[in-house]
Amino acid sequence: MKNFALAILLAAGLPAGAQTLPPAIPIHDPVLTRQGDTYYLFGTGNGITVWSSPDRQHWTAEPPVFATPPAWAQHDVPGFKDHIWAPDISYHDGQYSLFYSVSTFGKNRSAIGLATNKTLDSKAKDFKWVDHGAVLESVPGRDMWNTIDPNLVRDDKGTPWLTFGSFWNGIKLVQLRPDLTGPAEPQQWRTLARRPRNAALTDSLPGDGAIEGPFVFRRGDYYYLFVSFDYCCRGPQSTYKMMVGRARAVTGPYLDEAGTAMEQGGGTLVLQGDADWYGVGHNAVATFDKVDYLIFHGYDAHDRGRPKLRIEPLAWSPTGWPTVRKP
């Protein structure tokens, strides 16, 4: 495995000892965790993209989670190849759980799968991703939601919940079984956030109502629901931005700073595009050494709108609202 930073130097014709800034990681929908002294970054890509780093600056490409596309996904989602979206990583009781999305662009024939591992170190003897297949699925003609962009959150009793969603009728939440392999019974599907959508659109069209990428982060007495508004994946035309609301219960209701429910279209701005980044979004939040970080991708205005990794420390206002800390 070649170090990515060294590969960039060699490709540019620079000596290995030359001074240069670490290269920006090309990625969509990043999520970050740490095992021991090593950070592991997961993102959208063939087989699920994986990177490792000792310092969140210098990155090494790791093998993808899946060497071949999951057979169940190819069967259940017609048109799916191997481009797996929006992974979510968590650790509980000695096990890493990786939720992931399989879909085709602009359709809600989608599914969320689960893979587990005892370690993230690909050189460890017990390193092995075990796929558990589909956890949730959405079907046109049946569901007015899109089963992608998963995020696992546990409440104060340790009960697991999965939030997910993109366009259609917004962001959903469902309780999972203790083994995380499916919804708890009796099933109860909640709406956490949505945006206005043309009621004339069918369940096979995403249309307007551009909201996706949910991530729930618990801090103090509140659960914070981060989402992305507007449009990703359009290079210089990307208009992505991150919004947030909070609730005292994981099930909501989530309110923005003005008191508007996110289920009614509310949301407080966290970060949006500027002269350097056309759009920014699909974030995760992680805490390392008592500092909270916003992990997301942005479309680089200085590089033809290509998507790249950004990691920014979060600051919290006196009233408990997150903002990106200024350098």
How far CA 323 is from CA of 189, 303, 316, in Å, comes to 30, 26, 6
CA distances 102 to 45, 83, 84, 176, Å, are 11, 8, 6, 19
CA torsion 129-223-323-296 (nearest 10°) is 20
What are 175's strand-pairing partners? 161
Distance CA 227, CA 195 (A): 11
Q: Name 86's bridge partners.
A: none
The single residue of 76, 143, 149, 212 carrying the catalytic annotation is: 212
Picking from 255, 87, 240, 260, the residue whose alpha carbon sits closest to that of residue 164 is 87
Catalytic (active site) residue 212: yes
Of the candidates 29, 76, 263, 312, the residue annotated as catalytic is 29
Q: For residues 319 and 162, give the distance between their C-alpha atoms in angstroms, rounded to a whole number.
A: 27
The DSSP bridge pattern shows strands 222-229 and 241-247 to be: antiparallel
Contact 65, 128 (CB under 8 A): no
Where does the chain have alpha helices with state H? 4-11, 71-76
Look up 137 and say whether it is catalytic: no
Amino acid at 249: A
Q: Which residue's entry shows tokens 């990681």?
A: 25
DSSP for residue 98: E
Residue 216 burial (C-beta neighbours within 10 Å; 0-12, 13-18, 19+): buried
Q: List, by residue number, the catalytic residues.
A: 29, 212
